[in-house]
Amino acid sequence: MAAAKRLTRVTEDVGALLLPDEPERPRKAEIVRLPAPKMDSGRTLMQALMLRHSSREFSSKKLPLQVLSNLLWAAFGVNRAKTRGRTAPSAHDWEEIDVYVATAEGLYVYDAHQCLLKRLQTKDLRAHTGLQSYVADAPVNLVYVADLSRMGEATVEEKAYYSGPDAGFIAQNVYLFCAAEGLATVVRGMVDRVTLAKLMKLTPSQRVVLAQSVGYPAGNRRATN
């Protein structure tokens, strides 16, 4: 009897080894709750406009969570709770642009209505968010992704026409915030969109529109456009 039990156990163990691996179950996105954005910091709008410029050299210093929260709120946060209005306009109120955040800790998507980040991956995708070498050094790379499925019955041409300016409004908000807070930033169109979309695991209805690097300025800051 004991020998039979041992044989049964061995058979079960071998059978388990021969079974195909179970498909990996999708994990729930990790939630990073952001502190409420602070509205009483930074320079005036006119000062920020005076200081707005592009920088392509970044310090490796990470942005504190409070600064990141303020940045994302300025980019495309909710500034009217009753109507759920946002800090940047969107055509037909589609809100088709999602703000993805690539850092050394992984890839996140910003949920403006709940003031949080959802971590989608733990891979560092910063180097893939643009064709320039400095994108790998910037502590934060924002990727503006249009979800064309939210744009109703708009034609293909209209979707391309509207999603570009809508992403541009967000990028300019980031420029002004960075100017007001002494941060460095540059918006970028040079992106391998096909490869990045695969790495980000975007759906067929999603399109990478623009990317934008943000961080503290390097010691020798180079201002351009």
pLDDT at 179: 98
- Domains of the chain in start order, with CATH, are 29-215 (3.40.109.10)
pLDDT at 53: 96
Residue where the block lists tokens 């410029």: 53
- Residue ranges of the chain with per-residue pLDDT less than 50: 1-26, 220-223
pLDDT at 46: 97
Partner residues linked to 142 by β-bridges: 101, 212
pLDDT at 214: 98
Q: Could you read off the pLDDT of 83-95 as tens digits, one per residue?
A: 999 999 999 999 9
pLDDT at 11: 37
Q: Could you read off the pLDDT of 32-68 as tens digits, one per residue?
A: 999 999 999 899 999 999 999 999 999 999 999 999 9
pLDDT at 219: 78
pLDDT at 225: 62
pLDDT at 41: 87
